[in-house]
């Protein structure tokens, strides 16, 4: 009897030992796989299809303009600086930003944040007194993104007055800056004669629902640029538009360049039309 039991046990061991080894190998494979880390290469900085620029205000604090050159792989060519808001607010960093950005060789323009707390006439007077027209390379921008205190009709009436005043002073229609939600609610099918500066973040170029074309795209508000503390808005001119259309009086006179301007590492590659 013992002899038969011994034979049976030997046969069982022979039958089941390969499966036991396979299970051991399987579990061992799982452990090795769990410790394996897949290395994903970081995405290279994208090249923006269009001339790149930034817009700044006191929110960026004191900017070291000597260090401002690129965003990712994109040379910065133009700068819009906040000048005023409403009827009384003047950006505390405006004069310094305009002076140093121009010394660096950037094309510079100014923008006004349009408020629904004060009349168009008062707001234009604030903008006119703050901005020296002779220092501007770019057409002014009107930032319109709120309608808290007016009806839509009152908004359009006052906005048009402000736009007309700017055009009368500068000889060109200003650029309208806004966001898709505000554009769709208040500006769609209006202001077709004005260039649109649209703030839209994420993948894909902006598409306006009325078929109107955008001229400048603010494609991120979280840009990180040497010389600027914290985030900054980064913009690109629509490559399908004539870049010279946002110039106020043509290109600056290069014969009057100062030594500092000649040392600027990123001259603006816009040719006069």
| Catalytically annotated residues | 55, 145
**For strand 74-85 and strand 89-90, is the pairing parallel, antiparallel, or unpaired?**
antiparallel
**DSSP for 190-250, written as a single string:** S-TTS-EEEE--SSS----TT-PPEEEEEEEEEE--TT--S-EEEEEE-TTS-GGGGBSSS
- For residues 170 and 27, what is the distance between their CA atoms, to the nearest angstrom? 76
Beta bridge partners of 78: 53, 107
Q: Quick check: 206 and 180 in contact, CB under 8 A? A: yes
Count other C-beta atoms under 10 Å from residue 75's C-beta. 16
Cα separation values, 205 from 170, 197, 216, 223, 236, Å: 30, 12, 11, 17, 11
């Amino acid at each position: 009897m013992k002899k038969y039991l011994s034979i049976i046990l030997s046969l069982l061991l022979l039958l089941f030992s390969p499966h036991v080894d396979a299970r051991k190998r399987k579990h061992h494979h799982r452990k090795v796989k769990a410790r394996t880390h897949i290395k994903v290469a970081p995405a290279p900085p994208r090249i923006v299809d269009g001339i790149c620029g930034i817009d700044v205000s006191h929110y960026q604090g004191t900017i070291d303009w000597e260090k401002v050159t690129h965003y990712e792989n994109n040379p910065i060519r133009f700068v819009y600086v906040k000048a005023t808001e409403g009827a009384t607010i003047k950006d505390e960093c405006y004069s310094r930003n305009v002076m140093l950005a121009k010394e660096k060789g950037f094309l510079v323009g100014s923008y006004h944040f349009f408020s629904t707390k004060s009349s168009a006439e008062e707001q234009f007077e604030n903008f006119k007194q703050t901005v020296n027209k002779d220092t501007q390379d770019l057409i002014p921008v009107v930032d319109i993104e709120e309608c808290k205190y007016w009806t839509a009709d009152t908004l359009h009436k006052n906005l048009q007055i402000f736009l007309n005043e700017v055009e009368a002073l500068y000889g060109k229609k200003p650029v309208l800056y806004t966001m898709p939600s505000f554009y769709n609610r208040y500006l769609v099918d209006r202001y077709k004669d004005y260039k649109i500066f649209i703030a839209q973040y994420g993948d894909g170029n902006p598409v306006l629902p009325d078929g109107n074309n955008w001229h400048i795209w603010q494609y991120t508000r979280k840009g990180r640029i040497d010389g600027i503390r914290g985030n900054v808005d980064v913009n690109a001119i629509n490559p399908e538009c004539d870049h010279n259309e946002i110039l106020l009086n043509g290109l600056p006179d290069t014969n009057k360049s100062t030594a500092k301007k000649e040392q600027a590492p990123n001259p603006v590659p816009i040719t006069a039309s």
